[in-house]
Chains A and B, each alone.
Chain A
């Protein structure tokens, strides 16, 4: 039996109120807000966060495949799943692969994961699904599109939900697209997209699935219908015979927005967390056709144990205005960086990958002092080449001292830089991100988070920052 062993989500901390978009750009005002990833986040870092969340009760050494699905991968040429595996500190002998170019790519990765588990090629396959898409200024897409990521671990035992059936259809349909040089999503007229694209494909795949497995709409306790706007899931749900109030899973458009490839899985995460053992869930994923999947929630005690979505919603920071959104999304030209620092060197990053990317420190075998970055001579006892590597990325940190720097160039000044003491005594002088400067205090707790440190040398330099610790993260 193949199923979901664990799930995790990541919703970035910043929100933009949709009214702010119409305030700045004109047009019809719209209720709700959308999740916006920070200037130092992308689909890769969000996927790592979701993956780390899904692995809170699983040894990361058990993961033997890592898949990544997104329409907003940072590179056209360069695998993202390999980077995610390094940042999440997964073992080296794993299978990695990227799925892209469609908001159905998450479903494709899921089917690949199912096949690998079923065939015995893998025991635990982590599927990460992540998106941060851009709509053109003032457009409906800009109002709808949110950012976020979900991770699922597929396995054959210790499952929170088993997969009971799947049905997939293909449809070469131009509803939303980006050419290889587009920054913003384009689409055909929305009525055509909704009726002939979404409704047509969802109706076909759901009917096909129910025929294949001899099921009725009333056989499902929850139905995940992630459509291109707030209401469309309801209209197609109703016409397919589902009860909107009791069966349709809340789409969270008003709190998070439409997070693209990851959206059906975000809704699935909520559905499983809210479910009772034995509940049946219908998951649909639209895009260039559609996929429908039957899940049965097991009697596993871990069901409902995942981080509550409410925690992500509660700890949000509102962007002050649309201009801040433009800045962190790189959509406005700002004063050039007046203090260019060193570019990165690929051999340097490669050589130090365990320390910069995996975020390992060292512990002296002789005196036990934990230090970062790597040292060959112990700061404390001067022993030479007598260290073991330790993992720092999951440790909590305490702020020793800090500054709020307006000289260092950043999209959201002031830049907060803090001396952090990690559990075990290791110190690091780190950038703090996703922070309201007024909440910075000595002794405050912080978590370590993967971020894009900079893009100098024309590549993405991934590394680690700290951010205020909220609730159960990184337990």
Chain B
């Protein structure tokens, strides 16, 4: 059975994104409206042009009414997507399929999350776990598990992780929409209070509100909206069959879902060497440890090279492969349903050469990759976007 290919069939003609942060004075509806209307304006369309919509949120509500009510989208099909931290990309993926099959010409995708109304530090655990099997699990705890392998086998230290935090916080300091906009020092990161060993405060992304929106159209009509539209090159999703902690023989040096999603996406585009063919990457840095494992799982370096790559600045803004030039989840925050869409927003703006701070602009970017990883973790998505 053949698996098809979506390369260059669907184009992004407009995107929007709210300020990510502690948006105490904005409701979920306020953020949805702001992100959507920024995207409508960017695309040069009216809300009435939207034929169908997808909304991604993990814990902030339920059903397509989350868009219908605030945007007054009356009677059109709206689907809600929930797939842990991959929710936003999965919404784009499903929306793209609806266009690729010819069902619709113009659709809306919105990812959002309103976390700061819950009163919790970190994510609420509701629906994330079983009262027995899931007991004791937290996000930082589960994502810290590869530490033992990289520490014992590959010389990775807390300083190595700190360098990832320093890089992403520096990038975030150039992003006016990021939750945190201050650069930090390695020493600050190393000495910060421990959240889940070895992850300290700066190794962890904050709890954040935000919304991001995308307008997708058939590539055939993209030119009629704008010249600098950006095409979807690949979209992939991998869901593993067991929580890694219970999976027999799992090696805690990789998250297999990422490797599978990346392999699938590279195949769709025909990428053989991502370091040469991709110009920038937004990857899932919910924790510094996650970003380190991602480098290996996305095929950017080998495990035994990862420490040297980080030390040499390979993934910095000025490095050979800039990763998380937006500041990543560590700086932008992680409103779960919004993050995947926010990553694509960053790639879209970068490829158009319209990064909101020129110091953050990656020159001549033509292809970018966005990656999410969710659960404990079991779910990973990759979207590659670029010009034709």
Contacts and interface: CB of A to CB of B under 8 A. Distances in A.
Contact of A338 (B121, B244, B248, B252): B121
B359 interface: no
Nearest to A356: B132
Interface stretch (A16-24, A226-234, A339-347): A339-347
A425 B246 CA distance: 10
Contacts of A428: 245-246
Given A342-B129, A463-B132, A401 B147 contact: yes
A373 B243 CA distance: 11
Interface in A408-454: 408, 414-415, 417, 419, 425-431, 442, 453-454
Interface size range of chain B in the complex = 35 or more
**Residue of B124, B135, B144, B241 with most chain A CB atoms under a 10 A cut-off:** B135
Contact of A442 (B119, B125, B137, B148): B148
Contacts of B122: 339, 407
Interface in A76-115: none
B196 interface: yes
**Residue of A344, A373, A401 with most chain B CB atoms under a 10 A cut-off:** A401
Contacts of B227: none
A426 B132 CA distance: 17
Interface string B218-253: 000000000000000000000001111111111010
Contacts of A402: 145, 148
Interface size range of chain A in the complex = 35 or more
A427 B135 contact: no
Given A342-B131, A414-B194, A429-B243, A401 B121 contact: no
A403 to B, nearest CB: 4
A202 B255 CA distance: 66
Interface string B104-143: 0000000000000001111011100111111111101110
A380 interface: yes
Contacts of A406: 193-196
B246 A372 contact: yes
A336 to B, nearest CB: 10
Contact of A341 (B131, B147, B243, B247): B131
A342 B131 CA distance: 5
A57 interface: no
Interface in A305-344: 338-344
Interface in A379-412: 379-380, 400-408
Given A338-B120, A339-B120, A400-B252, A427 B140 contact: no
Interface in A341-368: 341-345, 348-349, 352, 356
A379 B196 contact: no
A187 B237 CA distance: 67
B153 to A, nearest CB: 11
A430 to B, nearest CB: 7
A461 B142 CA distance: 23
Contacts of B149: 401
A369 B152 CA distance: 28
A352 B141 CA distance: 26
A49 interface: no
B195 A407 contact: yes
Contacts of A414: 194, 196-197
Interface in A182-219: none
Interface string B245-278: 1111110100000000000000000000000000
Contacts of B130: 342
A405 B134 contact: no
Contacts of B243: 429
Nearest to B133: A373
A371 interface: yes
A338 B122 CA distance: 10
B146 interface: yes
B141 A408 contact: yes
A238 interface: no
Contacts of B141: 403, 405, 407-408, 415, 417
A376 interface: no
A430 B132 CA distance: 10
Interface in B146-167: 146-149, 152
A8 B141 CA distance: 36
Contact of B137 (A370, A379, A429): A429
Contacts of A302: none
A470 interface: no
**Residue of B130, B193, B246 with most chain A CB atoms under a 10 A cut-off:** B246
Contacts of A178: none
A415 B136 contact: yes
Given A414-B197, A429-B246, A379 B144 contact: no
Contact of B248 (A352, A405, A408, A427): A427
A351 to B, nearest CB: 11
Contacts of B245: 419, 427-429
B248 A404 contact: no
B180 to A, nearest CB: 19
Nearest to B289: A403
Contacts of A419: 145, 244-245, 250, 252
B197 A401 contact: no
B146 A401 contact: yes
Contacts of B194: 404, 406, 414
Contacts of B121: 338-339, 407
Contacts of A427: 245-248, 250
A379 B136 contact: no
A415 B136 CA distance: 8
Nearest to B152: A442
A337 B370 CA distance: 35
A405 B196 contact: yes
Contacts of A369: 248
A405 B121 CA distance: 14
Contact of A403 (B126, B145, B248): B145
Contacts of A429: 136-137, 243-246, 376
Interface in A458-474: 461, 463
A436 to B, nearest CB: 14
Contact of B140 (A407, A425, A461, A463): A407
A128 to B, nearest CB: 24
Interface in B187-209: 193-197
Contacts of B125: 339-342
Interface string B70-90: 000000000000000000000
A428 B134 CA distance: 10
A379 B241 contact: yes
A457 B144 CA distance: 30
A60 to B, nearest CB: 23
Contacts of A338: 119-121
**Residue of A338, A417, A454 with most chain B CB atoms under a 10 A cut-off:** A417
15 contacts: A341-B125, A342-B125, A342-B129, A344-B132, A379-B247, A401-B145, A401-B252, A405-B195, A407-B121, A414-B194, A426-B248, A428-B246, A442-B148, A453-B135, A461-B131
- 10 shortest interchain CB distances as A-B pairs: A429-B245, A404-B197, A431-B136, A405-B141, A405-B196, A341-B125, A401-B148, A403-B141, A403-B144, A342-B131
Given A403-B140, A403-B142, A427-B247, 4 more contacts: A339-B138, A340-B124, A403-B196, A461-B132
